[in-house]
Amino acid sequence: MAIFESKTLTVEIDAPYEKVMMDLADPMTHPEWAKEFFAGPAKKSEYGYVLAPVPMMGGTIKFKIESDIALGLLDLYLAPPDSDYGAPLQVRVIRNGDGANVLWTLFRFPGLSDSNWKDGLISMSKELLELKKRHEKT
């Protein structure tokens, strides 16, 4: 049995849990704050998923999210438009006082160089800070 190296990044957000969860559960909003990953806005497809430009995945991808807002569970699915979805990216949101903590787990898949792994972690950290800013605006 194989396992992958993983890293869970977290961010504390001083904004209502429900507001953060609803935003994260909507795939249309991710390109608004995850600008290191997405290269432009998302568009709804006629097939029930979202299309978005992601250069690191070779161009346009399909993107959907399955969520349970009450439990803070988010499973993000990404794939080329003509492919099946693989395993989800699992994101969890937990209540923290009047706010929320977002926990985003990344996996290092075989063949990913040390440099690319480090760059990916830095990029995701920046995006989580953008998510924080988005929700803590006054």
- Tens of pLDDT, residues 19-58: 999 999 999 999 999 999 999 999 999 888 899 999 988 8
Contact (CB, 8 A) for 39 and 87: no
CA pseudo-torsion sign 77, 16, 105, 35:
positive
| Nearest residue to 123 (alpha-carbon basis) of 56, 50, 74, 53 | 56
Mean pLDDT of 97-125: 94
Question: Where are any strands of DSSP class E within the chain?
Answer: 5-13, 43-44, 50-54, 59-68, 73-79, 89-96, 99-108
At 49, phi and psi to the nearest 5? -125, 175
How many domains would you assign to the chain? 1
Domain containing 63 equals 5-136
Q: pLDDT grade, residue 2 (50/70/90)?
A: confident
Give the model's pLDDT for residue 56.
Answer: 87
- Other beta carbons within 10 angstroms of residue 68's beta carbon come to 11
Contact (CB, 8 A) for 131 and 13: yes
Mean pLDDT of 13-24: 97
- Mean predicted lDDT score pLDDT of the chain: 94
Structure token pair of residue 89? 């990216």
Alpha helices in 1-100 (DSSP H): 17-24, 30-33
| pLDDT reading at 1 higher than 90 | no
CATH code of 88's domain: 3.30.530.20
pTM of the model: 0.92
HSE (CB half, 13 Å, CA atoms) of 127? 21
